[in-house]
Structure 1
Amino acid sequence: MKFVDWYLKIGVVSALIGASMELFMINTAFYDKVTVLESEKRAWENSPGAQAVREALNPWKHLDAERTKKS
């Protein structure tokens, strides 16, 4: 109990740093940019081109799936 003031100071400083980071991200439109990037990523992952790339990078995918079904 003798270091309670120290822990409170650390808590307050941490909360101020976190709040300033959130304000910075809101003011720089960080969340809008991330939303656009995530939607583009999901659109790409569901496209036929991405499916072809996944198949090309892992040609043994079907063999692994058959092994797990058998066991």
Structure 2
Amino acid sequence: MRFMGWYLKIVAGGAAIGAAMELFMIHTGFYEKVTMLESEKRAWESSPEAQAMREALNPWHKNEEHERR
């Protein structure tokens, strides 16, 4: 309880810094950009080209298929 004032100052400073970072990200459109990039990434990953590339780059895919049977 001796250093309670210091702890409260640290908590208040951390909360202020976190709030400032969130406001900056909202103001600059960070979340909209990330959402768009993630949706493009998921759309590409589900495409036939991505599936073919994933199978070509995995040399053990035949062994995995054999083990599943």
TM-score normalized by structure 2? 0.90
* Separation in structure 2 between the aligned mates of residue 65 and residue 6 of structure 1, nearest angstrom: 59
**Residue 38 of structure 1: aligned partner:** 38
Distance 1:62 1:3 in 2: 62
Tell me how far 1:59 sits from its aligned partner.
2.7
Q: Which runs of 5+ in 2 are unaligned?
A: none
Residue in structure 1 matched with residue 64 of structure 2 by the alignment: 64
Unaligned runs of 5+ in 1: none
1:15 aligns with 2:10: no
Displaced runs of 4 or more, over 2 A: 64-67
Question: In percent, how many aligned pairs have the same letter?
Answer: 64
Cα 1:44–1:4 shift into 2, 3 Å: same
Pairwise CA RMSD of aligned residues?
Answer: 1.4
Alpha-carbon offset, residue 4 of structure 1: 0.8
TM-score (norm 1): 0.88
Equivalent pairs, count: 69
- 1:5 alignment partner in structure 2: 5
Amino acid aligned to 2:2: K
Q: Deviations over 1:8-65 (max 9, x none)?
A: 1100000000000000000000010001000000000000110011011103123124
| SS of residue in 2 equivalent to 1:2 | coil
